Structures are given as C-alpha cells and as structure tokens.
Amino acid sequence: MPRSPAGDRGTIVMPVTLAQIDRYLVENADRHLEELKAFLKIPSVSADSRHKADVARAADFVMSQFRAAGLDAELVKTAGHPICYGTWLKAAGAPTVLIYGHYDVQPPDPLDQWTTPPFEPTVRDGRLYARGATDDKGQVFTHIKSLEAWMKVAGTLPVNVKFVIEGEEEVGSNNLDLFLEANKSRLAADVAVISDTSQFARDVPAITYGLRGIVACEVTVRGPNSDKHSGVFGGAIANPVNALARMIAGLHDDQGRITIPGFYDGIPPMSADERARLAQLPFDERQFLSELGVDAGWGEAGYTSLERRWVRPTCDVNGITGGYQGEGPKTIIPSSATAKITCRLVPDQNPEKVVAGLEARLRKLAPPGVKVEFRTWHGCPAFVFDPTSRYMGAAKKAIATGFGVEPVMIREGGSIPVVASFRSLLGLDTLLLGWGQNSDNLHGPNEHFHLADFRRGTRASAHLWHELCVV
C-alpha cells in the first residue's frame, strides 16, 4: 500500500492508512505505556524549587519523545522552566495545528493518602496511578504517540504540527505568553488543540467550549510578634487565626453569594438556552456527590450543580495554616495565619478588578491590631468560544471513531490560561478535547488515568489529524 504523500488527502488512500495506524497503536500499546511510566517517574513539580532539576529532566524526556516520533525538536529557554517545541511542517497546503500541553505536575501532597507513591507509576484495575497521569503527562502522550504512529506507518503527517509543551502550567504559565508574543509568526496556525480537560462522564466523551478563569492569592494576618500565652494575653488582642477566619467567612453571604465588591460585574445572566442545554446532559447529582464522598452539595443559591461549576464564579480557600498543628493542645495565641485563596472566574469578569476587590474586602474585615499582607500569584480571564466552527466538526468525528460514541458539548470549571492567550495573541480557537475523567483525582492523591482512555484518546488523536485535513 502506498504511503500517503504530503498534501495527498485523497479519500481512498487515507482509510487504509488509518486502519494501519489503528493497528500500529494496538501493537505498540504496551511500549507506549512503559514510556509513559518513565515520563511519570520524573517528579516535575513546578511549584517547588527543590524539584527544579526534575522539571528540567522532564523537558529532556519530552525532547527525546519528539525526536523519536520524527518531529524537529527545540528546547526553548525561559526565565523559568523551558518550553519543548516540536514541529513537522511538510504537509504543504494542509492546515497547521498548534498542539499544547504541559509536562509539569501539581505537588503530590498529602503523601500519606497515596496508595502507591506518586512518582512510582502503578497499574491497578485498569488504571495507571501517578501524579500527572491524567494532568497532563498522560493526555499529552496521546498526541505524541498518535504523531509517532503516523510517522512510522505513513512516513508523513496529514497536517502541519507545532507542538508546544510547557513546564509552568501548574504555577500560572508565567513565561508562556512571552514566548507566544515573541514568536507570533513562527507559531501561526489554523487551530489549537489541547487535551487537559475531562470527558463529561465515563464513556461520555466531550468537547469543552468554555473554561473558567482564575485568580490566585495569598493572605497573611500578623498579630503579636511571637506566639503568646492564650491565658496571659487572651481576650485583649486580636487572634490572627480568629481574624483570618472572620475575614474568610466574610467573603460569602448566607446564600453562598460572594461579597467581594464588584465581583459579579460583567457577568451576563444565564440564557434559557444554556440552562436547558446543561439540564439535558446525563448528569447524576447523587452519583457525583457520592463519588466525592459528601452527602449534600452546597453553593450559590438559585443554581444547579453544573451551573455552579461551569457558569458561576467561586471563591475557595486552597490551604490555611497558623499556630500549633502538632499532637495535643497548645495554649497559644498564634503570631500569624495564612490562607491561599483562588477565585474561579466566568465571562466577563475582570481578573485585576476581582483581585483588587478581594484584597480590599479582606483588609476591611480585619480587626484592629493585626497587619494584613496580600500577594497575587497569577490570573487569567474566563472565556467561551464558538461551538459551531468547522474544526469542531472534525473533532466530533475523530472522537466518535476513537471512543465509539459522539461527544457532548460542555463547559468546564477549570482554567487553562493559554487558551485565552492563543486567542488574544495568535487569533486561534482551541479544541479542548479531554480524554481524562473528573474522577481521575487530578490535583489530589491517587491521581490516575484509565488505560482505556489512554488508548481511546490516542486513537481519537490519530484520527483528528486526518479529519482536520479533510474538513
């Protein structure tokens, strides 16, 4: 059977090649899994400076994977962790796809809640357990391996590919925009593809047409110059932990609405259409809560669970610390207390305005006698894109083949700042094709990726390159 030459998008040659590619993926599935495990063994925790060398090792691993797949590979230095840039640009006349992913991972703690260690990838019950298994190393790997399959089987790709894998997604992608800005023409493409979201449910693959934005902050309340005896001093000075609790509590009212001034500015009321579309999704609230291990939901009054997660903004504390945390009691007034706070944003909240409002609200709620320190980590706006683009149709077909079922159209509660950057800096729409599942424990202990999703996602990816070329 003849190889498919660059630019030859004939409907006779391709289906045969696609079958060969499908077979290649089946025959090489075990090796692909072993290579993914090697990737997952590298503790590339970008938030923790002690893992700097590990993050660099992960970048090197990606580079070797690019080369093995037949891509040209370039390691782009940044002020932080490097960007892996892989290209194949010989499909003259065919569309150019900008694929994006990240090789860095979330911190693995709490370590004692992992059944097997986070950086010793282990398969149990058809799932691959490791930090980064689904977010995002495993999902990135589906695209690397689908490209490898095309190159090994066909010796060519049906589309041009520019593959950007960064190492700072989990800490705000601080250097990615600089890279995009400095390489606008070099990165020119027709559409972007990202697999860093989830299916809607088990065996219900989805295309995500909207994401929430985010702002991440840290607030520290300082009281007495050291921990003080709670008997000798208690009652006469503000306790930094009590103060911080009061400040956090004051961010919501009794109806779960956020009380930050101007917080809801710019948010349009939900349309009846969208409410109906969300209500039609096969969402089982009881099962959702049961999987989380909680017996009731909670959130902003007047909205359903899906609406609260996709269409409404939030204000959550991600961590809090202050005073004595060891065994037994300790009778002190702590010297200070700190909380990490993130707000999830929706269109068209302004991240800077939200941060300024949050800081002002916290300072206003602080009692006399404490000092409030406030710092911001990173932020990005939310967005919703057009679900009727022609590339969307290609993705639907590829997923239907890879997963054996048509995808549903959803929004997501998470944030992928690069999607907004792709639109504002490169003028690109993004196809958000999630191969993982919400129950994969991304960001938590025992993160995992179903092997079936790894295989189906890789197949869908391989078919996507073809479908994008025939649209």
- Shortest distance (Å) from residue 336 CB to a second copy: 10
For a second copy, the closer of residues 124 and 184 by Cβ is 124
For a second copy, the closer of residues 30 and 254 by Cβ is 254
- Shortest distance (Å) from residue 219 CB to a second copy: 12
Closest by CA to 425, choosing from 78, 157, 187, is 187
Closest by CA to 46, choosing from 112, 136, 158, is 136
Task: Note whether 251 and 361 are within 8 A (CB).
Answer: yes
For a second copy, the closer of residues 163 and 435 by Cβ is 435
For a second copy, the closer of residues 4 and 438 by Cβ is 438
Distance CA 219, CA 240 (A): 11
**Residues in region 222-261 near a second copy by CB under 8 A:** 223-239, 241-242, 244-252
Q: Which stretch binds a second copy (CB under 8 A): 21-29, 199-207, 221-229, 420-428?
A: 221-229
For a second copy, the closer of residues 37 and 303 by Cβ is 303
Which residues, in sequence order, are bridge partners of residue 168? none
Distance CA 7, CA 235 (A): 78
Distance CA 201, CA 66 (A): 31
Token look-up 């075990």 returns 30
Q: Which stretch binds a second copy (CB under 8 A): 96-104, 261-269, 289-297, 401-409?
A: 289-297
Residue 282 contacts a second copy per CB under 8 A: no
The residue from 286, 327, 386, 388 that contacts a second copy (CB under 8 A) is 327
Task: Note whether 221 and 336 are within 8 A (CB).
Answer: yes
Distance CA 442, CA 228 (A): 40
The residue from 43, 86, 118, 313 that contacts a second copy (CB under 8 A) is 313
Q: For a second copy, how many residues bind (rule: CB under 8 A)?
A: 105
Residue 177 contacts a second copy per CB under 8 A: no
Burial of 117 (0-12, 13-18, 19+ CB in 10 A): middle
Residue 417 contacts a second copy per CB under 8 A: no
Q: Which stretch binds a second copy (CB under 8 A): 154-162, 178-186, 290-298, 351-359?
A: 290-298
- Shortest distance (Å) from residue 359 CB to a second copy: 16
Residue 218 contacts a second copy per CB under 8 A: yes
For a second copy, the closer of residues 148 and 170 by Cβ is 170
Q: Which stretch binds a second copy (CB under 8 A): 77-85, 181-189, 216-224, 463-471?
A: 216-224
Residue 4 contacts a second copy per CB under 8 A: no
Residue 414 contacts a second copy per CB under 8 A: yes
Residue 101 contacts a second copy per CB under 8 A: no
- Shortest distance (Å) from residue 411 CB to a second copy: 11
Structure tokens at 427: 């003028």
Residue 442 contacts a second copy per CB under 8 A: yes
With b for 16 or more beta-carbon neighbours within 10 A and e for fewer, the 156-172 pattern comes to: bbbbbbbbbbbbbbbbb
Residue 317 contacts a second copy per CB under 8 A: yes
**Residues in region 12-51 near a second copy by CB under 8 A:** 47-49
Name the DSSP letter for residue 156: S
Q: How far is CA 248 from CA 161, 333, 337, in A?
A: 46, 19, 12
For a second copy, the closer of residues 174 and 424 by Cβ is 174
- Shortest distance (Å) from residue 471 CB to a second copy: 30
Distance CA 312, CA 297 (A): 15
The residue from 446, 451, 452, 471 that contacts a second copy (CB under 8 A) is 446
| Pairing assessment for the beta strands 206-211 and 122-124 based on DSSP bridges | unpaired
**Residues in region 147-176 near a second copy by CB under 8 A:** 171-172
Name the DSSP letter for residue 366: P
**Residue 433 neighbours by CB under 8 Å, 6+ apart:** 193, 194, 195, 197, 207, 208, 395, 399, 457, 460, 461, 464
> What dihedral angle (degrees, nearest 10) is formed by the CA atoms of 2, 143, 282, 394?
-50
The residue from 294, 301, 405, 470 that contacts a second copy (CB under 8 A) is 294
The residue from 268, 269, 282, 328 that contacts a second copy (CB under 8 A) is 328
Task: Note whether 358 and 350 are within 8 A (CB).
Answer: no
The residue from 198, 220, 458, 461 that contacts a second copy (CB under 8 A) is 198
Q: How far is CA 129 from CA 4, 190, 251, 442, 447, in A?
A: 37, 35, 36, 11, 6
Max CA pair span of the chain: 88
**Residues in region 333-392 near a second copy by CB under 8 A:** 333-335, 337-340, 342, 344, 367-370, 377-378
**Residues in region 54-93 near a second copy by CB under 8 A:** none
The residue from 308, 397, 448, 455 that contacts a second copy (CB under 8 A) is 308
Token look-up 């250097």 returns 175
- Shortest distance (Å) from residue 135 CB to a second copy: 8
